[in-house]
Amino acid sequence: MNVYYIPVLLYLLLIVVMMGSILFISSLVGKKPLTDIQKIPYECGLDPAGPKEAYVPIKFYVIAMLFIVFDIEVVFFYPWLIVYKDLGIVGFIEMVIFFTVLLIGLFYVIKKGALKWE
């Protein structure tokens, strides 16, 4: 075994011993039975009321996913704007193609009515 690994092994051994001792001490000190008040979920200082299952329309998830997709694609415009002069006409044509695909996707989403909130 290489002598350069001995400090690493000692460090790992020290970490394992410290983790074990911290977990052991916390299990001794920290175990206390929960009261009925502590078992109630805390929601902004209010007692939870109503059904436990909350209905969230699928439209919310669709709009959230569309926002993420279009937001991430628009972020690609920033680096392109920084190096616009260095890319020349080829970079400009590639960005026009990218922007066209983005617009086609946006028009498709609008045509399907995915952005209408009813």
Poorest-pLDDT segment among 15-24, 29-38, 73-82, 102-111: 29-38
Domain ranges of the chain: 3-39, 58-112
Domain 58-112 sits in CATH at 1.20.58.1610
Highest mean pLDDT among 13-27, 48-62, 80-94, 102-116: 13-27
User: pLDDT (tens digit, 9 = 90+) per residue, 42-63?
Assistant: 666 666 666 667 677 788 888 8
User: What is d(CA 82, CA 91) in angstroms, rounded to the nearest whole number?
Assistant: 12
Judge whether 85 and 74 are in contact, CB under 8 Å.
Answer: no
User: pLDDT (tens digit, 9 = 90+) per residue, 77-94?
Assistant: 888 888 888 888 888 898
- Whole-model pTM: value is 0.47
